[in-house]
Amino acid sequence: MLDIRGLSKSFGGVKATDDVSLDFADGSLTAVIGPNGAGKSTFFNLITGALRPDSGQVLLEGVDLAGKSPSDIVRYGIGRAFQVASIFPSLTVQETMLAAVCADQRRSTVLHRRFPLAETRDRAEHAMELLGLANKRHRTAATLSHGDQKLLDIALALVLDPKVLLLDEPTAGMGTEERWRMIDKVRELWEAQKITVVFIEHDMDIVFKIAPRIVVLCYGRILATGTPDAIRRNEAVIEAYLGTEEHAEAVT
């Protein structure tokens, strides 16, 4: 279980994350929503070690990861999609996958190698298949569509065998059809891998359809958590978020 307790982070006078406590059960799928600037990305950045919390705990199976380095946190089992496809544009899909596993192994030599080298290729293969990239393995990352680049980023997170996968707006910048293709893949891998998935998403049609549980952030605090039905009917959520923006039609 991922157990967040009293997590806080301020930037100057802005409380980007303000005393947030949340549980994510093993194997659960949760959407995080909220207005721009609500602190959604900061919340993820605190969990993955990209930002150091001012206070609070990030407990994964009882081990507090708050303040550890991003690469340590990945090794403990919290994965996230990075924009790697754009960082190594000239590597092929397959090379990118293998590079990710090898880089992780080099970092972990001091402790132990997480995966035998012989297993590396299998793991990369499995992740490519899950994300539908196996038939594009010899394409360079730069020549992939935007959607496939995002899938590659998720495959990279997956290849390191996360217990928890955090996805910050996996459908950002996509058209409607591509969004559904992406989110169907996310759901598929959640079901296949039985991992805990938390994703940030703006499209309320997607959120209400896909996520069994929704967390609403507003001004760095939790405004509500609940099932799609409960969130749809929550007065505070409608007032702060759903009722005010383009999401109105998804509520009806």
What single string gives the DSSP state of each residue in the chain? Answer: -EEEEEEEEEETTEEEEEEEEEEE-TT-EEEEE-STTSSHHHHHHHHHTSS--SEEEEEETTEE-TT--HHHHHHHTEEE---GGGTSTTSBHHHHHHHHHHHHHHHTTTT--SS-HHHHHHHHHHHHHHTT-GGGTTSBGGGS-HHHHHHHHHHHHHHT--SEEEEE-TTTT--HHHHHHHHHHHHHHHHHH--EEEEE---HHHHHHH-SEEEEEETTEEEEEE-HHHHHH-HHHIIIIITTSTTHHHH-
Q: Which amino acid is at 206?
A: I
Task: Candidates 1, 5, 41, 76: give the one binding ligand ADP (CB under 6 A).
Answer: 41
Task: Candidates 6, 11, 54, 248: give the one binding ligand ADP (CB under 6 A).
Answer: 11
* Site residue total, ligand ADP (CB under 6 A): 11
Q: How far is the CB of 63 from Mg ion (least distance, A)?
A: 27
Q: Which amino acid is at 251?
A: V
β-bridge pairing 2-11 and 55-60:
antiparallel
41 forms part of the interface with Mg ion (CB under 5 A): yes
Q: How far is the CB of 236 from Mg ion (least distance, A)?
A: 21
- Closest alpha carbon to 190 in 222, 141, 157, 230: 157
14 forms part of the interface with ligand ADP (CB under 6 A): yes
Q: How far is the CB of 22 from ligand ADP (least distance, A)?
A: 15
Q: How far is the CB of 43 from ligand ADP (least distance, A)?
A: 7
8 forms part of the interface with Mg ion (CB under 5 A): no
Task: Candidates 4, 29, 33, 38: give the one binding ligand ADP (CB under 6 A).
Answer: 38
52 forms part of the interface with ligand ADP (CB under 6 A): no
Nearer to ligand ADP among residue 151 and residue 200 (C-beta): 200
Instruction: Tell me the window of 34-42, 85-93, 204-212, 237-245 that interacts with Mg ion (CB under 5 A).
Output: 34-42
Instruction: Tell me the window of 8-16, 21-29, 170-178, 208-216 that interacts with ligand ADP (CB under 6 A).
Output: 8-16
Q: How far is the CB of 116 from ligand ADP (least distance, A)?
A: 38
Nearer to Mg ion among residue 41 and residue 108 (C-beta): 41
CB count in 10 Å sphere of residue 122: 11
Nearer to Mg ion among residue 33 and residue 237 (C-beta): 33
Q: How far is the CB of 204 from ligand ADP (least distance, A)?
A: 15
Binding site for ligand ADP (CB under 6 A): 11, 14, 16, 34, 36-42
